[in-house]
Amino acid sequence: MSEDVTALLKRAYQDELETVMNYMTNSIVLDGVRAEEIKESLKTDIQEELTHAEQLGNRLKQLDEQPPGSGSFEARQHDLQPPEDSTDVLSVINGVLTAEEDAIDTYRSLIEAAEEANDPVTEDLAVTILADEEAHRTEFRGFKKEYERE
């Protein structure tokens, strides 16, 4: 199996789990009436991101690899950290968009690597998750437009 494919699967797995942590934290710390819709969207997406991580971990196992544990975890989502001002919803929206762009780039790279490695199963998984990430990005782009208009 291609080292590129397994490295990208491991990166995507860790990124999904980091997203879960940050979405959960932000869904807890945000305050204000305007934050409620964002908090609910984040809460809903937590389960989807966990499912992605589980699918990626299972694919690694099928390839005789092991999903990484917390010992090898390196935080990368600096833009998605909870804001000091708990009413700063726009910073969370921007953080989500940055994380989604990164995820989209990772899944596109995984699709290419899987195609080159003649691994249609991983390619199909990456395409499916990519569609979810693009839909989430679209939702948060809409939130951003609404917040910037005000």
So what's the pLDDT on residue 87? 95
Q: How many residues does the chain have?
A: 150
Phi, psi angle pair for 109, to nearest 5° = -65, -40
Average pLDDT over residues 122-137: 98
Domain assignment of residue 80, yes or no? no
Domain assignment of residue 78, yes or no? no
So what's the pLDDT on residue 10? 97
Q: Domains in the chain: how many in total?
A: 1
Given a cut of 80, is residue 1 above it in pLDDT? no
Domain assignment of residue 73, yes or no? no
What is the torsional sign of CA 27, 80, 92, 129? negative
Kindly report, residue by residue over 56-103, the tens digit of the pLDDT.
999 999 999 999 999 999 999 999 999 999 999 999 999 999 999 999
Domain assignment of residue 123, yes or no? yes
Cβ(42)–Cβ(26) below 8 Å: yes
Residues spanned by the domain of 36: 3-65+86-149
Q: What does pTM read for this prediction? A: 0.94
So what's the pLDDT on residue 14? 97
Place of tokens 């590129």: 4
What is the torsional sign of CA 54, 55, 56, 62? positive
Residue 58, domain CATH: 1.20.1260.10
The closest alpha carbon to 107, from 16, 2, 17, 3, belongs to 16
So what's the pLDDT on residue 44? 95
Domain assignment of residue 35, yes or no? yes
Kindly report, residue by residue over 98-121, the tens digit of the pLDDT.
999 999 999 999 999 999 999 999
So what's the pLDDT on residue 47? 96
